[in-house]
Amino acid sequence: MVEPLYEVLARSAYVSLTATLIASGIGIGLGTALGLARLPGRGFLTAVVNTGMAVPTVVVGLAVALLLWRSGPLGDLDLIYTVRGMIIAQVLIATPLITGITMAALQLLPRDLPDQLRSLGANRAQRVVRLWIEARLPLLAAAMAGFGHAISEVGSATIVGGNIHGQTQVMTTAIVEYVGRGEFGVAIVYGVILLGLAFVINALLVSVQRPGASWAQS
């Protein structure tokens, strides 16, 4: 049975957007800590983040599948071959990228900016928010990169989700399936629609930044 295109498209958007939101919360927070704080083991954590940015998605999928497999340590949660399991995998894929870009963006800000904010009476939370505003474009780019990384991956989606029609099939796994059948025309249509979805989401993210830019400068 062929699943309707709109259902596959909606599932792809849901999985990737949810994963991006979660990964952004984790990645921006961790990237801020690594970029500003003098944490014990900061160099090691930075190396872990940089390594995570280069880990193939299929390896992430394999690791998640081993954890979620019914005989694995998290098997009782019944997350293998589910949308929630796919979201977990995509969060692990996107988080290192968002963390690394956030860390680099904050480190490129003027070194004396935190001290200037402190001298003006800003508390820690206010300083962090102001630094985020100053680095808003790189942070937006981090979220966009995380979303692009999540929605375009196929390895972990196949391993963790299983490409089950009506349940876990997403655009990328559908494309692979149609190519395997030799139905290249359908695969091309899916590919074009996937690119269109990525463009629309990224355009929305860019539009969100514009009001903030004028507010921050006022």
How does pLDDT run across 136-193, given as a tens digit for each residue?
A: 889 999 999 999 999 999 999 999 999 999 999 999 999 999 999 999 999 999 999 9
Please say if the pLDDT value at position 211 is more than 70: no
Burial of 122 (0-12, 13-18, 19+ CB in 10 A): middle
3-state DSSP assignment of residue 196:
helix
Name the CA radius of gyration of the chain, rounded.
20
Per-residue pLDDT at 210: 59
pLDDT at 1: 60
Residues 17 and 35: their CA atoms lie apart, in Å, by 25
- pLDDT at position 104 is 92
Task: Say which residue the tokens 């984790």 belong to.
Answer: 26
User: What is the pLDDT at residue 203?
Assistant: 85
pLDDT in tens, 1-39: 678 899 999 999 999 999 999 999 999 999 999 988 777
The top-scoring range by mean pLDDT among 88-97, 107-116, 119-128 is 88-97
79 phi, psi to nearest 5 deg: -105, -10
pLDDT for 204 equals: 82
pLDDT at 216 over 50: no
Q: What is the dihedral of CA 15, 170, 91, 131, to 10 degrees?
A: -60
Rounded to the nearest 10 degrees, how much is the dihedral formed by the CA atoms of 39, 42, 45, 51?
150
Residue 209: pLDDT band (50, 70, 90) is low
Which are the contacts of 166, defined by CB distance < 8 A and separation ≥ 6? Answer: 1, 3, 7
Give pLDDT, residue 217: 44
- 8 A C-beta contact, residue 18 and residue 92: no
Write the pLDDT tens digit of every residue in 42-80. 888 889 999 999 899 999 999 999 999 989 999 999 999
Q: Token digits for 124?
A: 């820690």
Q: Which amino acid, 196?
A: G
Q: Distance between CA atoms of 89 and 55, rounded to whole angstroms? A: 12
